[in-house]
Homo-oligomer: A and B are copies of this chain.
Amino acid sequence: MTLDTLVSEIRKKRSFLCVGLDTDLTKIPEHLLIEDDPVFAFNKAIIDATHTYCVAYKPNVAFYEAQGVNGWRSLEKTIGYLNHYYPKIFTIADAKRGDIGNTAHQYARAFFEDLDFDSITVAPYMGKDSVEPFLTYEGKFTILLALTSNPGAFDFQVNEKEEESLFESVLKTSSEYTHAERLMYVVGATKTEYIKAIRRLVPDSFLLIPGVGAQGGDLKAVCESAMTDQVGILINSSRGIIYASRNTDYAEAAAARARALQEEMAGFLTD
């Protein structure tokens, strides 16, 4: 997919919502457990109900791996379904991979070729040769962890005592990688105070922002500091949408939550 297509879909749907498919067998409605593949049945229903209100889906790969071979098959079916029925939806493999050259090539092949995701999240710890193999794919995007939204982000990513925090170093250094135009960044919404600093370093890059609740305040603050004239942000919501109800109305409940977020987002899109 191209960035132009993504931006055009955002403007058409008036939404920059990404729905996180953190699908957990212990949390989906019980009546689905009799299905052959309950995880895929759940994902399919969620996708069919919410696709009008969002522009991206992000399966969290850990939840699939936790189910072994069956989980991997559910992931294959989910991405296959998305690519077949909703080809203009941007897909993100939330895998947070990060390994050296040869291994990074294997991961790139698994997620970009075999599964045909549009993008993958990657951890920057190992540096350039762990990231560039992903960047060789035209029409594919690599979403690098910069500043995450968890408490542990302050262990290493942010260091007030040093002149430059690790997350700033990641933004600066990766901007010099070959095909850096295929980079996006994960930036936690719990740190809006940092977003302006981030925008000075990567003024145009798309940011994938998790951790925004349904509260208008959060969304407003994030949009004001992070949006660009090409939108430049995707906001992810996972459990708040997919587990809105654990009864037979789970898909409708998810759609209602996604729609509420979409309507809020529409207010921040100027044209």
Contact = CB atoms under 8 A, between A and B. Distances in A.
A156 interface: yes
Interface stretch (A82-90, A122-130, A242-250): A122-130
A150 interface: yes
Interface string A123-147: 1111111110000000000000100
A217 interface: no
B150 A66 contact: no
Given A65-B107, A72-B69, A125-B123, A100 B130 contact: no
B100 A150 contact: yes
A60 B152 contact: no
A5 interface: no
A110 B155 contact: no
A199 interface: no
Interface string A72-97: 11001000000000000000000011
A150 B127 contact: yes
Interface residues of A, number: 54
A227 interface: no
Interface string A142-179: 00010011111111110100100010011001000000
A154 B125 contact: no
A82 B234 CA distance: 44
A76 B169 CA distance: 38
A76 B65 contact: no
Interface string A210-250: 00000000000000000000000000000000000000000
A106 B75 CA distance: 15
A62 B145 contact: no
A98 interface: yes
Contacts of A107: 62, 65-66
A199 to B, nearest CB: 21
A171 to B, nearest CB: 11
18 contacts: A63-B106, A66-B110, A68-B114, A69-B69, A96-B99, A100-B149, A101-B150, A123-B123, A123-B126, A125-B125, A126-B150, A127-B150, A127-B153, A127-B156, A128-B155, A129-B151, A130-B152, A159-B169
Interface of A: 22, 24, 60, 62-63, 65-69, 72-73, 76, 96-104, 106-107, 109-110, 114-115, 123-131, 145, 148-157, 159, 162, 166, 169-170, 173
List the 4 shortest-distance A-B pairs measured between CB atoms, nearest first: A127-B152, A127-B155, A128-B152, A62-B106
Given A24-B106, A96-B97, A98-B125, 12 more contacts: A62-B106, A63-B103, A65-B106, A66-B109, A66-B110, A68-B110, A69-B73, A96-B99, A101-B150, A126-B150, A127-B156, A129-B151
